[in-house]
Amino acid sequence: MNKATCIMLECAVFLTSVCSILAGEPAPVRADHPAIPPLDEMAGEWIAAAATANPPDVHNFHDMLLVSRDLTSFFCYPEDCLWEETLRMGYPPVTLTLDDREFPAAEFRWYPYRALRRNPNCGGLVVESDTRMINEQRAVLVRVRVSNPGAEARQVELALAVPGQLQADGVSVLNTTQRIGFATAISPAQSPAAVTHDNGIIRWCWTPTIQPGGEQVLEFVAGDGHAPEAQAVVGAVSQWAHAFAAQFEAFKRCWEQRWTDAFTPGNPHFSGHLPVLTTANAALTRNYYMGVASLLAIERTQYPVHPRSFVSNGERPPGTHYVWDASLQDTVWALLEPAGMKATTRRWLVQNVRITQTIELTATKGYDAAHYDQMSGSGYAFNASQIFQLAFDYLRLTGDLAFLDETLENGQTVLKRMDDIANDWKTMVLPDSPLENCGENVNLLECAPAYIHRVASVNAQNVLMMRQMALLYDLRNNPARAKDLRAGADQLVPAVMDLYKPGAGVWNGLHKDGRRVELRHCVDYIYVGNALADDLSPTMRREMTDFVKRELFTRDWMRAMSLKDAAAANSDRPDHGPMGAFDGWVPLTVGAMWRLGYPRDAFDFYCRTAVVTKEGPFTQAHEFYGPDCKKYDAPVRIAERQGCFRECIDGASFTDVVISTFFGFSPSPDGKIVLADSAVSRPFRGTLDGLRYGKRLYHLTAGESGIQIKQTPAE
């Protein structure tokens, strides 16, 4: 069986499943809860191209594309890094002209399953294009609608031009030069009136007369593969072009089914599911469900670590997974895909906490066991605490305590490895302080030159790890080890507290030369507030929160770093500097503020941020821009500069904080506590339906009297 036949069989199987849905046959399981928004309601609004830094994208659960600033071309680079210093085209550009004139996209609109572009004035005509993919295939579908809003009929020459070699059918084009070692085929779905060939540029031409209020539709398909498979690629693209309408609608149906599966107990795709949020608060609804849509975009089904994995971003090399990003949405991950979370956690637990920044989900084995002194490696200082947290949260959220006794690739049990990670910080201590030396800029925020060496955030997490490890030893009937860990944590707390700057609400860093440097960054608020909420005095809690509200919060978003930080002028990265924030910082700050005793302030700010989703999903970072970028009401957009990408795994933390904080779902490892603060009055009304814990489903109701919980048998 040749490659083309294999591709066609894969398509046939997929189309058969889609056709059964279109024909009304019931899917194996469907969530019919009326509170789940239809997928189309998750779309963004039309955004002016001039105000857009990072145009919309499309994901097909294997790869992604980003649309270009014209009306028909796109950036797509399957099985490789889409973004290096700049975006890489991958596929040859397909250019649309009207009467020999090319027009740019004037507006963009994001949907989970498509990217729209339009220009309302193309010589008196309106052009709108709709770009989609095919599920898990290296294929792109583009539909172009040219409409006539005028009062008179218009005859127009429409042309699509693409570089390459005309094929034997006299229509299809093959390009083997755009991306070395690969072949790309492009074919229109409608037969052109004429085909011309000029210096390697193939033009498909149509000359319709468009009546007033009427339109002309053009469609084309592009697909690629390795160069030796060129003719198989041509054949596959030709078949997809002949079935364009079915493929076009099938991709939407695929996304709708994935959306339904995410909220359906016992669904045929995920090993778990997410609860359904019902509330009259539109902003809360928007952020909760947009967090899910953002996560589904970066699901990948082709990697051997687990067939349902989540990459950090779509633009990075295949299977790239950052533990720091992934750990921000542990509750969502454990509920939606516990099997995949466990498999990925096993890979992370054996990694070197001092050298590893990422793992590749393409590999199922391998680790570096060397010891690196004083952060001589390039690993993130947060890796230890976040790898530990990944495992700890998996254990408490799933109840899979048998995981503690499983043996990892390095020969250690999970329990022993977690103990080693929780105490590894002790190897990084300098003589003048009991605090961990967290390393240099590359090991921390990468763009904050003073945020180095002994910082409160990482050291607070060291306290938390030891306390959490003690809870696990309680379950393993080892009170002596638990006592030692708690004592070590308690001894470290005063050293962390000594970094606080009274009256300012911020924390100092202790540089290895002994200097104390004031740091005005959200990271200390987040990670100290997360780990040491019960150790902080009421005055410290209030001062810390006042600092965040005064210097970090804006009308619609937040600054990762205060404009008053001494390093602000030299820290202009959108994710960690003063001109924007890593999207994950927003819900983490909200969660910390709630824990520090300010739930209404936290909730109100969370809801204000929903306005950014008019551009689309949560991403790596949103930035402030324009002449008012330093003001409270600074405009916000999705960032692209300095390597900020579109959907990011941290986007699911907007969903996570609703479940784990607003509704208080925070089980203890022993299972005796399910809700963390059920008696605390909630600043909203709403319910979570179908929240799984153990073998049961729960219904949570939130309101002024706190959280009420009811359980029902799992389906």
Which pLDDT score is estimated for 236?
97
Distance CA 165, CA 161 (A): 12
Which pLDDT score is estimated for 601?
98
What is the secondary structure of 144-165 as a DSSP string? EEEE--SSS-EE--EEEEEESE
H or E element, residue 604: helix 599-608
Bridge partners of residue 222, in order along the sequence: 140, 186
* Across 32-49, average pLDDT: 95
**pLDDT confidence bin for 493, thresholds 50/70/90:** very high
Helix, strand or coil, per DSSP, at residue 542: helix
Q: Is the pLDDT of residue 29 over 60?
A: no
Which pLDDT score is estimated for 372?
76
Q: Which two tokens stand for residue 477?
A: 């009937």
Structural domains in the chain, CATH included, are 3-256 (2.70.98), 262-363+374-708 (1.50.10.10)
Give residue-wise pLDDT tens across range 137-155. 999 999 999 999 999 999 9
Which pLDDT score is estimated for 422?
98
How many of the other CB atoms lie within 10 Å of CB of 198? Answer: 8
Q: Which two tokens stand for residue 450?
A: 């003073």
Query: C-alpha 674: how far from its chain's center?
Result: 27
Q: Which of 330, 283, 321 is nearest to 591 (CA)?
A: 330
Do the beta carbons of residue 80 and residue 317 sit within 8 Å?
Answer: yes
Give residue-wise pLDDT tens across range 407-419. 999 999 999 999 9
| φ/ψ of residue 608, rounded to 5 | -65, -30
**pLDDT confidence bin for 26, thresholds 50/70/90:** very low
Give residue-wise pLDDT tens across range 289-321. 999 999 999 999 999 999 999 999 999 999 999
Do the beta carbons of residue 117 and residue 145 sit within 8 Å?
Answer: no
* Across 695-705, average pLDDT: 95
Q: Is the pLDDT of residue 270 over 50?
A: yes
Give residue-wise pLDDT tens across range 604-617. 999 999 999 999 99
Distance CA 271, CA 340 (A): 8
Do the beta carbons of residue 449 and residue 441 sit within 8 Å?
Answer: yes
Q: Is the pLDDT of residue 184 over 80?
A: yes
Give residue-wise pLDDT tens across range 537-594. 999 999 999 999 999 999 999 999 999 999 999 888 999 999 999 999 999 999 999 9
Q: Is the pLDDT of residue 629 over 50?
A: yes
Which pLDDT score is estimated for 3?
40
- Output the CA angle 452-457-458, nearest 5 degrees: 75
Residues with Cβ within 8 Å of 415's Cβ and at least 6 positions away in sequence, in order, are 404, 405, 472, 476
**pLDDT confidence bin for 620, thresholds 50/70/90:** very high
Do the beta carbons of residue 319 and residue 311 sit within 8 Å?
Answer: yes
Which pLDDT score is estimated for 371?
79
Which pLDDT score is estimated for 529?
97
Which pLDDT score is estimated for 334?
98
Do the beta carbons of residue 594 and residue 604 sit within 8 Å?
Answer: no
Which pLDDT score is estimated for 570?
87
Distance CA 133, CA 588 (A): 33
Q: Is the pLDDT of residue 12 over 80?
A: no
| φ/ψ of residue 144, rounded to 5 | -115, 130
H or E element, residue 546: helix 538-547
Q: Is the pLDDT of residue 5 over 50?
A: no
Percent of the chain residues topping a pLDDT of 90? 89
Q: Is the pLDDT of residue 472 over 80?
A: yes
Do the beta carbons of residue 215 and residue 147 sit within 8 Å?
Answer: yes
Tokens 């963009």 sit on residue: 108
Q: Which two tokens stand for residue 617?
A: 């999903």
Q: Is the pLDDT of residue 1 over 80?
A: no
Which pLDDT score is estimated for 248?
98
